[in-house]
């Protein structure tokens, strides 16, 4: 869709950490134009967790200063009512600033007929994953399985769906600087030995991931156990048992 006005809305950050959203009006109107209503509704959908702090009203250069200041006040009220209906949080001390035409005007008159909404994003409380909670509350000597860590067949390369768990582990290491771990690799299915020492290679892959992401070597070691510590007896009876034997765990050395 092409617009006749270059900017129907702007979303920027100013030097005070506030953000802005602009709502535009047609000539001599105190209700936002149709395109701005559509943009406003989309902005509301994408910005549920904000608080509106200030509304500034502007007009073009036509008519007197007094007339334009009154029009700016009406435009501010119109936007305020839209905000109230949307359910967005509005500061109890919201500032209303009707400037009329007393500001640096754009050469494009349509860009001067607007209300600027100043707002801030509210901090979101982070939700801890089960793995993060387990690690945070673990005692020295406790072993924790890393869920959903998968490797390509007979390889130490993790598949893409392992990434969320890897980053959860990384976050736990970053948030708990005293945490020290041993990364332990295990395999399934082989009756005699760990051909190629795949369990060690897989434990080292997790270790290397954390190293690449700036976790100190002094906080980690890695070790492969091959088939010496199976959860289920080998040979496994089904794929579920094989997956549970084929695992990576962390031993809490210090927490």
Q: What is the pLDDT of residue 143?
A: 95
Task: Compute the distance between CA of residue 204 and CA of residue 196 in angstroms, rounded to an integer.
Answer: 13
CA angle, 242 then 205 then 183, to 5°:
70
Residues of the chain with pLDDT under 70: 1-17, 123-127, 194
12-121 architecture in CATH? 2-Layer Sandwich (3.30)
Give the sheet arrangement for strand 50-58, strand by strand: 12-13, 19-24, 114-121, 50-58, 89-100
Q: How is residue 8 annotated by DSSP? A: S
Q: Any residues with CB less than 8 A from the CB of 219 and at least 6 apart, and which?
A: 173, 179, 180, 181
Alpha helices in 151-197 (DSSP H): 163-175
Q: What is the pLDDT of residue 150?
A: 84
Q: What is the pLDDT of residue 18?
A: 78
Read off the pLDDT of residues 33-55 as tens digits, 9 standing for 90 and up.
999 999 999 999 888 889 999 99
Q: What is the pLDDT of residue 245?
A: 86
Q: What is the pLDDT of residue 125?
A: 58
Taking the model in full, what pTM does it have? 0.52
Q: What is the pLDDT of residue 124?
A: 58
Q: How is residue 112 annotated by DSSP? A: G
Ranges in the chain annotated CATH 3.30.1330.60: 12-121, 130-254
- The fold adopted by the segment(s) 130-254 is 60s Ribosomal Protein L30; Chain: A; (3.30.1330)
Q: What is the CA radius of gyration of the chain?
A: 30
Q: Which helix (H) or strand (E) holds 101?
A: none
């Amino acid at each position: 869709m092409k617009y006749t006005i270059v900017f129907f809305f702007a979303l920027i950050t100013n030097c005070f950490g506030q953000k802005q959203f602009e709502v535009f009006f047609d000539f001599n109107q105190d209700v936002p134009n149709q395109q701005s209503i559509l943009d406003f509704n989309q902005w509301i959908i994408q910005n549920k967790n904000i608080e509106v702090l200030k509304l500034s009203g502007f007009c073009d250069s036509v008519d007197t200063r007094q007339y334009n200041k009154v029009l700016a006040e009406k435009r501010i009220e119109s936007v305020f009512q839209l905000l109230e209906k949307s359910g967005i949080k509005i500061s109890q001390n919201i500032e209303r600033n009707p400037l009329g035409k007393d500001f640096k005007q754009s050469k494009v008159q349509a860009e001067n007929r607007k209300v600027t909404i100043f707002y801030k994003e509210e901090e979101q409380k982070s939700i801890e994953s089960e793995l993060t909670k387990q690690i945070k509350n673990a005692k020295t000597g406790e072993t924790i399985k890393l869920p959903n860590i998968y490797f390509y067949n007979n390889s130490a390369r993790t598949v893409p769906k392992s990434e969320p768990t890897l980053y959860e582990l990384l976050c736990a290491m970053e948030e708990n600087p005293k945490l020290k771990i041993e990364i332990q690799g295990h395999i399934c299915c082989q009756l005699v030995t760990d051909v190629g020492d795949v369990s060690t290679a897989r434990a080292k892959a997790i270790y290397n991931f954390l190293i690449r992401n700036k976790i100190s070597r002094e906080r980690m070691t890695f070790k492969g156990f091959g088939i010496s510590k199976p959860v289920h007896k080998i040979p496994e009876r089904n794929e579920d048992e094989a997956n549970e034997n084929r695992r990576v765990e962390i031993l809490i050395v210090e927490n």
